[in-house]
Amino acid sequence: MAEVTLSSKNQIVIPKEAREALGVKPGEKLLITVHNGKVMVMKRPAKYHLAIQGLARGLYGPDYLKKERDSWK
């Protein structure tokens, strides 16, 4: 685990090991999210639709859609 210091301009330097793990280079965009007091840094996907493809797979049973449509009648 690397330690960073927040500068007077509210900037940090991302440690080399983290940059290498993310596979990022200077000028690339990163996504930052905060959840339950933790900060997560992610490489920005080139195409969002490919990044989330299949995310909900297996979430609903095979008959879910039929039951849902039947409830509209």
Q: Tokens 């009648």 correspond to what residue?
A: 73
Class of domain 1-48: mainly beta
Look at the chain and count its residues: 73
| Residue-level pLDDT at 1 | 83
Q: What percent of the chain has pLDDT over 90?
A: 68
pLDDT digits (tens, 9 = 90+) for 49-60: 988 888 888 888
Whether 61 has a pLDDT exceeding 90, the answer reads no
Kindly tell me the burial class for residue 56, based on how many C-beta atoms sit within 10 Å of its own C-beta (0-12, 13-18, 19 or more): exposed
Domain residue limits, the chain: 1-48
The model carries a pTM of 0.61
Q: What would the mean pLDDT of 29-53 be, rounded to a whole number?
A: 91
